[in-house]
Amino acid sequence: MNIELKNFFDIPATDSKDELIEIISGNENVKIERIISQGHKSPEGFWYDQDTAEFVLLLSGSAVLKFEDGSILEMKKGDFITIPAHLKHRVEETSTVEKTLWLAVHFKNK
């Protein structure tokens, strides 16, 4: 059997100040990511405009998302949403106190 057991909560040690975005599984129809943020946010003026829908689950930390229409969504541990394809959004902030751990699933709506 060639199955590698990993733990979603094992955070790699790194000196990097960059947000970690890791594709942990997927195929041509779905992409599953683990994202680790701490004090990260989208660059000024940047908006995500994705060709796929995105399911997002916050497993630890907190985050604030902003949408192009000006609405704000504050997320805490356990919160999840699905963002439709091409709904422009950005990350306004993530916790500076603890790591924000996201599970993101990008998928094509048919």
pLDDT tens per residue across span 13-23:
777 788 999 99
Asked whether 80 and 56 are in contact (CB, 8 A), the reply is yes
Domain around 39: 20-107
Is 50 a domain residue?
Answer: yes
First to last CA, the chain: 34
Q: How many domains does the chain have?
A: 1
In a domain, 3, yes or no: no
pLDDT the model gives residue 11: 86
Residue 87: phi and psi, rounded to 5, are -85, 110
Q: What is the pTM of this model?
A: 0.90
* Within a domain: 52: yes
Cα 31–chain centre separation: 12
User: Domain for residue 88, yes or no?
Assistant: yes
Which CATH number covers residue 77?
2.60.120.10
CB 38 within 8 A of CB 14: no
- What average pLDDT does the segment 93-98 reach? 95
pLDDT at 94 over 80: yes
pLDDT band with cut points at 50, 70 and 90 for residue 110: low
- Measured CA to CA, the distance from residue 97 to residue 46 in angstroms comes to 24
CA 21 to the chain's CA centroid? 8
The overall average pLDDT reported for the chain is 94
Assess if residue 2 is contained within a domain: no
